[in-house]
Amino acid sequence: MEKKLKNILVIYYSRHGHTARMVRRIVEKLKELGNHAEMMPVAEALREGVDWDNWDFVLFGTPVVYGTYHPSVFEFVRNNCTRLDRKPNAMFNVTVVARTPYKATVEGNRYMQNFLKRSPWRPKDLKCFAGKIDYPNLNFFDKRCIQLIMKITNGPTDPTVCIDYTDWDEVNRYAEHISRLAEQG
pLDDT band at 3 (very low <50, low <70, confident <90, very high): low
pLDDT band at 1 (very low <50, low <70, confident <90, very high): very low
Asked if residue 116 and residue 155 are part of one domain, the reply reads no
Asked if residue 60 and residue 27 are part of one domain, the reply reads yes
Asked if residue 150 and residue 105 are part of one domain, the reply reads no
What pLDDT shows up at residue 2?
Answer: 54
Domains of the chain: total: 2
What pLDDT shows up at residue 152?
Answer: 86
Alpha-carbon dihedral sign for residues 170, 174, 180, 181: positive
User: Comparing C-alpha atoms, which of 97, 106, 102 is closest to residue 165?
Assistant: 97
Element (H, E) at 12: strand 7-12
* 11-33 pLDDT tens trace: 999 999 999 999 999 999 999 99
Asked if residue 119 and residue 161 are part of one domain, the reply reads no
Note whether residue 177 is domain-resident. yes
Neighbours of 45 (CB within 10 A): 20
What pLDDT shows up at residue 67?
Answer: 86
* 113-166 pLDDT tens trace: 999 999 999 999 999 999 999 999 999 999 998 899 889 888 899 999 999 999
Task: Tell me the CA end-to-end span of the chain in Å, nearest whole number.
Answer: 16
Which runs of E-coded beta strand occur in 45-157? 57-63, 89-95, 126-130, 132-134
Asked if residue 72 and residue 160 are part of one domain, the reply reads no
Note whether residue 2 is domain-resident. no
What pLDDT shows up at residue 91?
Answer: 98
Asked if residue 152 and residue 66 are part of one domain, the reply reads no
What pLDDT shows up at residue 169?
Answer: 97
Pairing mode of beta strands 132-134, 162-164: antiparallel
Beta bridge partners of 90: 59
Alpha-carbon dihedral sign for residues 93, 98, 104, 106: negative
The domain containing residue 146 runs over which residues?
Answer: 133-165
* 34-78 pLDDT tens trace: 999 999 999 999 999 999 999 999 999 999 988 899 999 999 999
3 neighbors 183 (Cβ within 8 angstroms)? yes
